């Protein structure tokens, strides 16, 4: 006796509509389960693992940075109309509190893709003139990028960030 023949004649499970709806629910649940699995398995890892400890030290970090800050003015020049895969010069200018250019130990340009840490990249900036540093950057995807220019001086790091939008040609 086959499976369908074992189901009583008056059972709702003999109706194709009931079976169809059950199939639909099972499909939806299966898709959800797949998406949940993919979300965990392919997470780009944008979350800090030690977020709680970092949060506890936030105030202290800010105060100690403020105490050590050399009162520099750091200004970045990122072209407004960025295009995908088109190299552009990114510059940063550093002056002290009297407006004289200063040279730190190192300057690095970082580009973060908010939706995918796998696309993040960084470029060391080279000295073009006193207090003026430059890097040639090309963004591989259209959309939003978070840029950060980090200036290293001794043990300290100072940074400025800017959210940019990269368009199509």
Cβ proximity to other proteins, 84 vs 134, nearer residue? 134
CB 95, CB 140: distance < 8 Å: no
Question: What is the CB neighbour count within 10 angstroms for residue 154?
Answer: 9
CB 94, CB 151: distance < 8 Å: yes
From the CB of 62, what's the least distance to other proteins, in Å?
A: 21
Cβ proximity to other proteins, 1 vs 80, nearer residue? 80
From the CB of 147, what's the least distance to other proteins, in Å?
A: 14
From the CB of 104, what's the least distance to other proteins, in Å?
A: 14
Cβ proximity to other proteins, 72 vs 121, nearer residue? 72
Structure tokens at 145: 């990028």
Cβ proximity to other proteins, 35 vs 80, nearer residue? 80
**Contact set with other proteins (CB under 8 A):** 73, 75, 77-80, 89, 91, 93-95, 97-101, 128, 130-132, 134
Residue 137's H or E segment, with its range, is strand 132-137
From the CB of 79, what's the least distance to other proteins, in Å?
A: 4
**Helix boundaries (H) for the chain:** 3-6, 16-41, 51-56, 58-68
Distance, in Å, from the CA atom of 23 to the CA atom of 73, rounded to the nearest integer, reads: 64
């Amino acid at each position: 006796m086959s499976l369908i023949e074992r189901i009583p004649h008056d059972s709702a499970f003999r109706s194709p509509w009931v079976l169809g709806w059950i199939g639909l629910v099972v499909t939806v649940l299966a898709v959800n389960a797949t998406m949940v699995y993919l979300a965990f398995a392919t997470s780009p890892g944008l979350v800090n693992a030690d977020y709680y400890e970092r949060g506890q030290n936030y105030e202290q970090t800010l105060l100690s940075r403020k105490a050590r800050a050399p009162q520099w003015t750091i200004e970045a020049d990122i072209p407004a109309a960025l295009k995908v895969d088109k190299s552009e010069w990114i510059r940063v200018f550093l002056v002290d509190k009297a407006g004289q250019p200063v040279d730190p130990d190192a300057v690095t340009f970082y580009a973060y893709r908010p939706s995918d840490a796998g696309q993040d990249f960084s470029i060391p900036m080279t000295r073009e003139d006193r207090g003026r540093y430059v890097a040639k950057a090309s963004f591989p995807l259209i959309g939003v990028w978070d840029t950060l220019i980090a200036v290293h001086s001794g043990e300290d790091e100072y940074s400025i960030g800017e959210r940019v939008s990269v368009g199509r040609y």
